[in-house]
Each structure stands twice: as C-alpha cells, then as structure tokens.
Amino acid sequence: MRYIKIYLFIFIFFIPKDVNSSEIQETIFASWNKSDVNLFYSLPDVINEETKVLFIIHGGSRNAYDYLKIWIELSKNKNIILVAPEFTRNNHNDYALLNMSDHYANPNKNNEEYLDMSISSFFNFFKSKYDLKVNDYKIYGHSGGAQFLHRYILFSNDSRVSSSVIANSGYYTFLNWDDYPYGIKDVGYLNSKKIENFLSEKVTMLIGEKDRGYTRSSHTSANEKGIIAQGSNRFQRANNYFNHLVLISEKFEIPFRWKFYVVENVGHENKKMSSRAAEILLHDVSDIET
C-alpha cells in the first residue's frame, strides 16, 4: 500500500479526481493556530456532485489509520470521502475533551487550543481541495472518539453535521452542574440555544451489549470518581446518559431526535460497532457506477 504525505505549506497545483479507492493518503493539517493534525483519508474512484464526506474519530489508542482501513472495507463502491484525523498525545493529549480541560476537571484557559471547530476546519479543507458540492458531513466516533464526538456536537458552532454515531463512549458530559468534562459547570459560552441544538441533532448512540466490564480509570481516583458517578461501566453510563437527555428535553419541551441502540453480542470492539454504524451512516450514500 502506498502512502502519500502532503504538507500544507507545499501547494499542490493539480490532483486528479480519479483515484484508486483502496489508496490511503495522508496530509498534515497545519493551517490554523493549533498544533498539527495528521489526516488519513481515502477517496472514491470518482468525485462528483454526489460525493459525501465521513469523518472517523479514533479512540484512546489513537490508531486513526486502522480505523480508516475498517471503513474502507465497509464503504466499498460508495461515493464517499473518508477522513480519519489523528490526534497525537504530544499535540492533543486531551482531544476527547476537545482540549477544553484535562481528565481531572482542570480547565484549559487557552481557548485557542480548543477543538470545538476542528472537524469544521477539516471539512472546509476537503471541500475546497476537491471542489465538493456537498454542504454537510457525517461523523463516527468510538470509545474516546465517541467522547470527542458528543462534546463536539454540544460545543461546536458548526451546523453542518448531517448525522453522527457515538459508539461505546467511556463517559459523557451531562447537562448538569458538575465540573467539565463531567458536566457543564462554568462553561461560559454554552447557552440554552446550543443545548437546544444539541438535543435536536440527528445523533445515534450505540453501546455494545457486552461492554459491561468494570472500567477502571487510567488516570487517578479523583477523575475515576467522576466517571463512576455516571455508572459502573460503559453500558450503564450510556443508558444513564440517554435517559438524562430524554428528561432534559421533556422538561424544557425541546424536540429530541437522538436514537439509542444496543448492539447485541458485542463488547468494546470498534470493528463490530463500525459495521453497525455503517448501516446508519451510509444508507443514503450513492454507489459508484462501475
């Protein structure tokens, strides 16, 4: 398999739009005031006015390349660009929290490091690079990627996310007065309109039926306490979070468009969760005519 590394400070004058769909390419996104992000991506054989975009957000292992390979198999002959950002530990250690705090609830006072508009920036890059006609994009996140994704939907100002799947998140940001990232206390720029938009988005939560093992924090007992308060394992936390959102939407009479599914006989397994997510995210993506 051939790898192509493209640095953004080198302008590429021409890139053919007919590209072998099995080819994984890589670019370093550096055109912002944050640390660089590697973007692994795959193109359909032909890019046209029907081409869509799906972002795939890795978990704590940060194996974006492996995530992308799984989705290439799932989207064979589909007219879609797949993009898997790699948030490295050196550059974006707290990516799952949008770099807004660490896991000990210590806020990051430098909001220029926040990732709340990161996917929007990546989408703008690909839209311009390939002259895409589509004006929205899809996102999938598993484990730490699901943590990133639900917080991105909550805090981002980008309304272009057409559909998203959150799978096997470790824990969640509840709409209560716990300290961030466990709640939204002292998150100054989060207002009622953002919460309304968050609950009204087309989001699907997936949790593996067997993702019930005791999930011990990889950090300290201080942050473990915040996690266990949401439930003793991922399965419990997913159910508790969804029910929490239902109650909030009912209390404030907000249209609630989230869906929740248990994936039977599956644990904390990205490949199997991706297969279920593909049924949701790719159903409206056209096939490439061969």
Task: State the pLDDT at residue 7.
Answer: 35
Task: State the pLDDT at residue 18.
Answer: 40
With a pLDDT cut of 90, the percent of the chain lying above it is: 83
Q: Per-residue pLDDT averaged across 184-189, rounded?
A: 86
Q: By C-alpha distance, which of 159, 222, 167, 163 is closest to 57?
A: 167
Task: State the pLDDT at residue 19.
Answer: 39
105-139 tens-digit pLDDT = 999 999 999 999 999 999 999 999 999 999 999 99
Q: By C-alpha distance, which of 39, 63, 2 is closest to 274?
A: 63
Annotate 176-237 with DSSP letters as a single string. SSSBTTTS-BT-TT--HHHHHHHHHS-EEEEEETT--S----SS-HHHHHHHHTT-SSHHHH
Query: Which DSSP state fits 75?
Result: T
Q: Give the DSSP H/E element, type plus range, for residue 250.
A: helix 234-251
3-state secondary structure of 20: coil
Other CB atoms closer than 10 Å to residue 130's CB: what's the count?
Answer: 16
- The letter for the amino acid at 61 is S
Residues 38/7, Cβ–Cβ less than 8 Å:
no
61-73 tens-digit pLDDT = 999 999 999 999 9
10/72: higher pLDDT: 72
Task: State the pLDDT at residue 6.
Answer: 37
Q: Per-residue pLDDT averaged across 33-53, rounded?
A: 97
Q: Give the DSSP H/E element, type plus range, for residue 49.
A: none
77-95 tens-digit pLDDT = 999 999 999 999 999 999 9
13-29 tens-digit pLDDT = 333 344 344 589 999 99
Task: State the pLDDT at residue 2.
Answer: 40
Taken in order of first residue, the domains within the chain and their CATH numbers are: 5-10+19-281 (3.40.50.1820)
pLDDT category at 225 given cuts 50, 70, 90 is confident
Beta strand pairing status for 37-42 and 24-29? antiparallel
